Structure 1
Amino acid sequence: MSRCVFYLVRHAPTLWNLERRIQGQWDSELAPAGLAACEILAPQLAGLALSRILASDLGRAKSTAGILNRVLRLPVTLDRRLREQHFGEWTGKYWRDIPAADIAAAEAAGWHFQPHGGESRADVRSRAEHALIDAARANAGRNVLVVTHQGVVKAVVYHLLGRAYLPDEPPAFDRRLIQQVVCQGGVLTLGQLDIDPAAL
Structure 2
Amino acid sequence: MTTQFILLRHGETEWNSLGRLQGHQDSDLSGVGLKQADALAARLAPESFSALYSSDLGRARETARRIAVRTGHAVLPDSRLRERGLGILEGLTREEARQRHPDVFAAYSGGAPDYVVPGGESTAQRLRHAVECLEELGARHRGERLVVVTHGGVLSLLFRHSLGIPPSAPRTFSVLNAGWNQFDYHEGTWRLVTWGDVTHLRATSLDDT
Per the normalisation by structure 2, the TM-score is 0.84
After superposition, the Cα gap between the structure-2 partners of 1:188 and 1:167, relative to the gap in structure 1 and judged at 3 Å, is: closer
Against the structure 1 CA distance between its residues 144 and 104, is the aligned structure 2 distance closer, same or farther, given a 3 Å change threshold? same
For residues 192 and 137 of structure 2, the distance between their equivalents in structure 1, rounded to whole angstroms, comes to: 16
C-alpha distance after superposition, 1:119-155 (max 9, x if no partner)? 1111111110110011112212211111011111111
Deviation at 1:182, TM superposition (A): 1.2
In structure 1, distance between residues paired with 2:199 and 2:113: 27
Q: For the Cα contact (< 8 Å) 2:155–2:175, is it kept in 1?
A: no
* Gap runs ≥5 in structure 2: 202-206
Going from structure 1 to structure 2, the CA distance change for 1:109 and 1:196 (only over 3 Å counts) comes to closer
Deviation at 1:104, TM superposition (A): 3.9
Give the residue type in structure 1 aligned to 2:175. D
Tell me the equivalent position of 2:108: 106
Q: Choose which of 128, 131, 140 in structure 2 pairs with 1:129.
A: 131
- Match for residue 204 of structure 2? none
- 1:35 paired with 2:37, answer no
Tell me which residue corresponds to 1:11.
Answer: 10
Give runs of aligned pairs for residues 122-161 of structure 1, distance below 5 A: 122-161=124-163
For the residues of structure 2 that align with 1:180 and 1:31, how far apart are their CA atoms? 25
Contact map agreement 1:107 1:167 (CA 8 A) in 2 = no
Gaps of 5+ in 1: none
Map of 1:179 onto structure 2 = 181
Whole-Å Cα distance in 1 between the matches of residues 65 and 35 of structure 2?
13
CA 109–185 in structure 1, closer or farther in 2 if over 3 Å, else same: same
1:20 aligns with 2:19: yes
How far did 1:167 drift?
5.5
Does residue 62 of structure 1 match 2:82? Answer: no
Q: Distance in 1 between matches of 2:169 and 2:187?
A: 33
What SS does the corresponding residue of 1:111 show, helix, strand or coil?
coil
Asked if residue 50 in structure 1 is aligned to residue 39 in structure 2, the reply is no
Contact preservation (8 Å) 1:108, 1:167 = no
The aligned amino acid for 2:137 is A
TM-score, scaled to structure 1: 0.88
What's the % identity of the aligned pairs? 30
Question: Over the residues paired in the alignment, what is the CA RMSD in angstroms?
Answer: 2.2
Q: CA deviation at 1:161?
A: 1.4
User: In the TM superposition, what is the alpha-carbon distance from 1:49 to its structure 2 partner?
Assistant: 1.6
Contact 2:6 2:148 in 1 (8 A): yes
Identify which range, 111-120 or 148-157, moves more after superposition: 111-120
Number of residue equivalences: 197
The 2-side partners of 1:3 and 1:48 are apart by 18
Q: Determine if contact 1:133/1:187 at 8 Å carries over to the other structure.
A: no
The Cα of 1:115 is off from its aligned counterpart by: 2.0
Q: Detail structure 1 runs of 4+ shifted over 4 Å in the superposition.
A: none
Structure 1 residue 168: Cα displacement:
4.2
CA distance in 2: counterparts of 1:72 and 1:27, whole angstroms = 25
